[in-house]
Amino acid sequence: MIPWYIYTIGFVAQILFSGRLLLQWILSEKHKRVLTPSLFWKLSLIASFLLFVYGDLQDDFSIMFGQAITYYIYIRNLQLQGEWEKMKRIFQLFIYIFPAFVVLYNYNNGTLDLQRFFNNENIPIWLVLLGTIAQIVFNLRFLYQWVYSERKKESILPLGFWILSLIGASMVLIYAILRKDPVLFTGHIFGSVVYVRNIILSLKSKRQLNEA
Q: What is the pLDDT along the chain (212 residues), one digit of tens a residue?
A: 778 899 999 999 999 999 998 999 899 888 888 888 899 999 999 999 999 999 888 888 888 888 888 899 999 999 999 999 999 999 999 999 988 887 777 665 445 555 665 566 667 888 888 988 998 888 889 889 989 999 988 888 889 999 999 999 999 999 999 988 898 898 889 889 989 988 998 898 888 777 76
- Around Cβ 210, how many Cβ atoms within 10 Å? 7
Please report the pLDDT score of residue 120 as a whole number: 62
Please report the pLDDT score of residue 87 as a whole number: 92
The H-or-E segment that residue 111 falls in is: strand 111-112
Please report the pLDDT score of residue 12 as a whole number: 95
Please report the pLDDT score of residue 38 as a whole number: 92
- Around Cβ 20, how many Cβ atoms within 10 Å? 23
Please report the pLDDT score of residue 2 as a whole number: 77
- Around Cβ 106, how many Cβ atoms within 10 Å? 15
- The one-letter code for the residue type at 100 is A
Please report the pLDDT score of residue 164 as a whole number: 93
Please report the pLDDT score of residue 192 as a whole number: 92
Please report the pLDDT score of residue 5 as a whole number: 92
Say if residues 145 and 73 touch (Cβ distance below 8 Å).
yes
